Amino acid sequence: MTLTVDAVGGTAFQWQKNEVDIAGATGASHTILNLSTNDAGSYRVKVSNAAGSVFSDPAVLTVTPCPPIPATRWRSRPTAQSTIIRWTKPSRHDRS
């Protein structure tokens, strides 16, 4: 997920999460890899130039976790070179 600011004349940037500086986030954009619920919060950027500094309006990021993966069974069929894994949902009639 990438946040980007379009700031004409901006020469320095500092991204913040919940009004706390994010270490190393000093470019016109800030990318969060492997997004998780811990990344939820309010993000803003401080843009500076010779005339001073200004903060952007905050962007609120909400992260909703994916629903849990339903329990499944797997069956493997070995071959001479590899093992093939198949994920299947048990049917209501399959009790084995």
Angle formed at CA 90 by CA 86 and CA 91, multiple of 5 degrees: 130
**Which tokens go with 82?**
């590899």
Mean pLDDT of 68-91: 53
The pLDDT score that the predictor gives to residue 50 is 95
The pLDDT score that the predictor gives to residue 89 is 44
Read off the DSSP letter of residue 24. Answer: T
18-27 pLDDT per residue, tens: 999 999 999 9
Between 84 and 79, name the one with better pLDDT: 79
Q: Which domains does the chain have, with CATH numbers?
A: 1-90 (2.60.40.10)
The pLDDT score that the predictor gives to residue 86 is 44
Residue 37 sits at φ, ψ, to 5 deg, of -65, -25
28-39 pLDDT per residue, tens: 999 999 888 899
